[in-house]
Amino acid sequence: MDPFNEEDIKMYFFENRLKTFAGWPFDEDCSCTPENMAKAGFIHAPSENSPDIAMCFFCLKELEGWEPEDDPEKEHRSHSSSCQFMALKKKVEELTVEEFFKLQKERHKIIINKTGNDAISKFEEAAKLRRAGIVKTAMGEE
């Protein structure tokens, strides 16, 4: 992970997060507008079945099932209370280089943990299926 990678750091900035909300189902007369979502650190990450998935670019928490009255900051804090991006006391543009690198280090830890946990889950699922196949063979069910 290159801490200077432009793709890796561009989502720290509101404008870049806001650009991801093309096609967001809520845009006016509600709390979860694209602007409020982006302010709360979210990027729009829709799937085929769920057009309203939003993910924090920093803590990687995904939330869906948004209602017009949902406050993005409150939802983010309630579902990911330890998100350090939400805990920032100043704008990203005002961070010192040291503060930014500490933040980026924490973000990389989150990414590594998520990647590892996803790989473990896939392995465990594959092992479960393999085990079931072995049991079937041993029982003469195939």
What's the per-residue H, E or C state across the chain? CCCCCHHHHHHHCHHHHHHCCCCCCCCCCCCCCHHHHHHCCEEECCCCCCCCCEEECCCCCEECCCCCCCCHHHHHHHHCCCCCCCCCCCCHHHCCHHHHHHHHHHHHHHHHHHHHHHHHHHHHHHHHHHHHHHHHHHCCCC
In a domain, 123, yes or no: yes
Each residue of 19-37: pLDDT tens digit? 999 989 888 889 999 999 9
How many structural domains is the chain composed of?
A: 1
Residue 1 has pLDDT above 70, yes or no: no
Each residue of 34-88: pLDDT tens digit? 999 999 999 999 988 888 999 999 999 999 999 999 999 999 999 999 999 999 9
What percentage of the chain has pLDDT greater than the value 70? 96
pTM, two decimal places = 0.80
Q: For residue 81, what is the domain's CATH number? A: 1.10.1170.10
